[in-house]
Amino acid sequence: MNQNLSSTTPELLVEQRDAVLWLTINREERRNAMSHAVLAAMAQAIAAAQGDRSIRAIVITGVGSKAFCAGADLQSAKAFTTDYSEPHGHLANLFRVARASCIPLIARVNGACMAGGMGLMSMCDMAVAARHAIFGLPEVRVGVFPAQVLSVLQHLIPRRTLNERCLTGEPITSAQALEVGLVNYVDDDVDAKLQWLLARMLDKSPAAIRRGLYTLKGAESMAFEQAMAFTESQIALFTLTDDAKEGQKAFQEKRKPNWAGQ
């Protein structure tokens, strides 16, 4: 794959491969546990990507094959915050940036996905997992609770499943994660499945996906009438894009569309 943009920081590898931006946690010796530097760099990279139309998707993963992300680094003296007087923490800010992203985020879960790692996976729009991956919220074992993770996880899985994971701290397998809708796909070859999923998305209209993701996220928390008012105005705007005009023309002419991305 071409590397059009490559930037590396010690704990987060940032690399553009063709139309996909890869953000890889580079802390294998700590099971890719999150540091404040990782969270800040990831938020910065996602935010910066929003202004780059060459980036069509963002993949989030960890180095190696043992862990996607083990959560907060409990060996750190300040694992959860660096400043108790600051109301906005690094993980919360990352969730906010991810929520505002109009570029699809895909989690490549290459191993254990635990605690705050469940938050990283859940903030993504889609997730592909290796068959050996496990998922869990073990915070109650160390006297805390996955409070911030709830903001991005609670609507992904059934409530009783969520309650059990939070209150027992017991992990589940990738097969169980797939069954409850936590991930989109599980495969022995996680990279092959990821590329398959990316290919099915990257040949579609960039403009429709960008504005469509904005619409999906905007409508999610709205009441019915508010959602209807919002979406009926959005559909009119979709039809005004160059991609919509090209897509309809290509359909009529029975050919592949040439997307302008606007």
Q: Pick the last residue of a domain from 183, 202, 221.
A: 202
18 Ramachandran zone, left/alpha/beta (phi>0; psi -120 to 50)? left
CB-based contacts of 222, cutoff 8 Å, min separation 6: 230
**Same structural domain, 198 and 246:** no
Question: What is the predicted pLDDT for the residue at 73?
Answer: 78
How far is it, in rounded angstroms, from Cα 200 to Cα 188?
A: 19
Range of the domain at 218: 206-252
Our measurement of the distance from residue 210's CA atom to the centroid of its chain's CA atoms, rounded to an integer in Å, reads 15
**Same structural domain, 172 and 145:** yes
Q: What's the number of domains the chain is made of?
A: 2
Q: Is residue 197 part of a domain?
A: yes
Question: What is the predicted pLDDT for the residue at 7?
Answer: 53
**Same structural domain, 128 and 246:** no
Q: Is residue 259 part of a domain?
A: no
**Same structural domain, 39 and 156:** yes
The token pair at 7 is 């930037």
CA distances from 91 to 21, 152, 209 (A): 20, 11, 26
**Same structural domain, 193 and 212:** no
**Same structural domain, 62 and 94:** yes
Question: ∠ CA(121), CA(122), CA(123), 5° rounding?
Answer: 95
The token pair at 182 is 């936590």
Q: Mind spelling out the 3-state secondary structure of 117-162? A: HHHHHHHCCEEEEECCCEEECHHHHHCCCCHHHHHHHCCCCCHHHH
With beta carbons less than 8 A apart as the criterion, state whether 3 and 16 touch: yes
Q: What is the dihedral of CA 73, 77, 81, 82, to 10 degrees?
A: -130
**Same structural domain, 143 and 218:** no
How far is it, in rounded angstroms, from Cα 245 to Cα 241?
A: 7
Q: Is residue 261 part of a domain?
A: no
**Same structural domain, 146 and 89:** yes
Global pTM value: 0.91
254 Ramachandran zone, left/alpha/beta (phi>0; psi -120 to 50)? left
How far is it, in rounded angstroms, from Cα 152 to Cα 156?
A: 8
**Same structural domain, 101 and 14:** yes
**Same structural domain, 169 and 246:** no
**Same structural domain, 48 and 105:** yes
CATH number of 171's domain: 3.90.226.10
pLDDT tens over the chain, length 262 residues: 334 444 567 999 999 999 999 999 999 899 999 998 999 999 999 999 999 999 999 999 999 999 999 998 776 656 556 566 666 778 999 999 999 999 999 999 999 999 999 999 999 999 999 999 999 999 999 999 999 999 999 999 999 999 999 999 999 999 999 999 999 999 999 999 999 999 999 999 999 999 999 999 999 989 999 999 999 999 988 999 999 999 999 999 999 999 999 9
**Same structural domain, 84 and 102:** yes
Question: What is the predicted pLDDT for the residue at 3?
Answer: 41
